[in-house]
Chain A
Amino acid sequence: MQNINHFVHAYRIAPWRIQRQWIGNTLLVVVGFAMVAALYLYVTARAAIAGREIQDLTASTRISQQASADLQTRFAALTSTSVMEERALALGFEPIKPGRMEYIVVAGYMPPQPVILSNGPQSGLRAPSIPPEYNQSLLDWMDEQVHSPYVRGGLQQ
């Protein structure tokens, strides 16, 4: 029993034990910082990638809109009055004279009305705003959590 007490006492006053404790605590702090830094780096990288993807999507949307406008004007040119008239004449059609027209009664016929180009309101198709997870750094998030009114005691009660 005395030997055990002596061993415990010797262990407690051993200088290398104090050193190991210091080393252990220091490593703990370093690892903690490393983990936070890694997490921060990960979130930042994801936000950067998301940001670039958004910019790419915006650019491709713009390109698609331009391509659509190009195709629309090209189609209009291909179906312009002069072109259609030439095609009709080439196919053997000729302008009709009033006396050669025959009118017949068609039940339910409605004369053509001016064009309606609107699809109506489509508010649901608009892209939602980017959620804060994609553009908020860890520090921003922590700052928001600290300063958020929901964390304050007054509002929690």
Chain B
Amino acid sequence: MRQQYAWRSKFLMSVLGLLAFLVVVQIVRIQNSEEAAIFRQRALNYATESKTFYPDRGNIYDRNGHLLAGNKTVYEVGVNLNDVKDANAIAMTLSVQLGVDYAETLNNIINPPIPDLVYLVITKSASVEDAVALQQLQLTMQEQAPAGTSGSLTGLEFTAHPQRDYPEGALASNIIGFVNRAGRGYFGVEEKYNDLLAGNPVQVLVPTDPNKAEDIPHIPDGTNLVLTINRDLQAAAEETLDGALFTYGAQGGTIIVMNPRNGEVLAMAVTPRMDLNRFWDYEVVYQNASEFNRAISVPYEPGSVTKILTMAAALDSGTVSPTTTFLDTGSILIGGVTIKNWNEEAWGLQDMTGCLQHSLNVCMAWISTQMGTQTFYGYMNRFGLGHLTNIDMAGESAGRLKVPGDEDWYPVDLGTNAFGQGVASTPIQLLAAASSIANDGRMISPHILYSMLREDRQYNASAQYAGAPISSETARTLSNMLATSLENEASLALVSGYRMAGKTGTAQIPMPYGYYDSTRTNASFIGWGPVDDPQFMIYVWLESPSSSIWGSETAAPVFSEMAQKTVILLNVPPDSVRQQLVLK
């Protein structure tokens, strides 16, 4: 009986064994098929997630550690259109909390502006307070909704992200620049040091399997920058400039305060300025990019402030000495063109201090002809006219100095260039050039960066010198001549208790086809002090002042006002006090 059924068992076992074998064969075949390779690749793709870690953009501080540009959290508020239950409630709530237009928002939710739109962005920069209030309200509405149903604010979504913030608003906006929504810096320091501030994003493959948690690489934040500017002095400069524009009816203006010893820009005020937290207003405030910072981007014919460079060149080359006399007859003929004084009068016998004091064009033109083109333009070139100062802000212009050999240079230019006509310079260029006079003959390179902070290390920027166009003896002699000329003139630029050196400038504004506007001028003043130990230089430029066309009546008093604020904020005691301290 057993034998009878044995074959059945063996048959069944063979069939099952064959089936098992076929299953194994099929498993192996599937595992090694082309489709399996595709699936394995897909699995590998999902095994890791590519994440880009963006470092926080570096902060910007003034020289005393006040934050000028930082980062804050803002929220993108949007509506997931597929989840909306009550469009009216959402539009009403957003209108009340965020101030958006109710009708427009409601219409956009009901009739999306783009077909098949699933997510509607309401705002990209809602404050934390607004976002929290909306989230709280959404939660409350959800709790009040009948069980199993969605609240009326269902569909509102919030995404936090960092955004650039400028706590001082428009203060020093021309220096700082701004960052757009894409995180790119525009203008000023934000553009010049964009790579340093932004840092280096790191892309990492992060395993989705929590068993394979890996160390996230150390991502250094963007570099923090400390600027040379003094926040309080910057505010004072802007206040002074705004007041000057109002008082003298000027269309625009610039005030720069710089340390002549090391080239640190302590303040740089211009008009117009913009609230950097509303960077999208840029096109409303400015007509073109060069207006963002006129102090470095807009060259103009500076007029008589250039005379200090002409006199410096003449003294240094030995062409004249302070006691050299010149008989001013009221005009001089150069290159077939007659050059006259600003008042078209003859000033008689003058020494060189008198030429500066009365700002005599004829005298300066005579000096330049005495020097000759090679000497005169050689000095102007060494003073950096027509060259970039390489100040570390975006958008600097080099200006223009025509020299013999240029197609548009004429012999008369030797005479007119001597008193600042026919030459285009930016305020920062003239300040850098004049620093050689205030700094014992050594010309400094103006800069705005004091130090960089990276990985808990602070790297201070050192002063850069741009050569020594004149000797220290020439520099001291000329400083005293300029101080004396201000005192003799009883200039409005004088500051009680402090001996200042400086020079006014009044320049007609060139028109197309080589003519000059007879009604509008650029009024300027460049000065420094205290003369025996210069600690600051100030440049003032007022564009088209309407109360008076003369720099001596507009820019000079602005210099005085700015200098008074500067000595207080920089703790510069009056000369008498300082000399007593030195004696002790």
Contacts and interface: CB of A to CB of B under 8 A. Distances in A.
> Do chains A and B interact in one complex?
yes
A157 interface: no
B212 A58 contact: no
Contacts of B581: 103, 105
Given A52-B210, A65-B56, A98-B568, A115 B167 contact: no
Interface residues of A, number: 49
Interface in B362-390: none
A97 B564 contact: yes
Interface stretch (B10-18, B173-181, B438-446, B451-459): B451-459
B505 to A, nearest CB: 25
Given A66-B162, A114-B64, A130 B213 contact: yes
A80 B65 contact: no
A52 to B, nearest CB: 5
Contacts of A65: 56
B528 to A, nearest CB: 17
A150 to B, nearest CB: 24
A92 interface: no
A108 interface: no
Contacts of B160: 66
Contacts of A80: 167-169, 171
Interface in B158-195: 160, 162, 165, 167-169, 171
A81 B231 contact: yes
A84 B373 CA distance: 54
Contact of B63 (A55, A85, A115, A120): A115
B457 to A, nearest CB: 6
Contact of B456 (A70, A98, A120): A120
B128 interface: yes
Contacts of B320: none
B61 A115 contact: yes
Given A73-B165, A135-B214, A103 B453 contact: no
Name the residue among A115, A121, A126 with the largest chain B CB count within 10 angstroms: A115
B67 interface: yes
Contacts of B224: 117
A42 to B, nearest CB: 13
29 contacts: A44-B211, A48-B210, A50-B213, A51-B211, A55-B210, A58-B216, A66-B162, A69-B73, A70-B73, A72-B70, A73-B67, A73-B165, A74-B72, A76-B167, A80-B167, A81-B232, A81-B235, A99-B496, A103-B574, A112-B64, A115-B61, A115-B63, A115-B64, A118-B458, A129-B215, A130-B214, A134-B213, A135-B212, A137-B211
3 closest residue pairs by CB, A with B: A51-B213, A115-B65, A76-B167
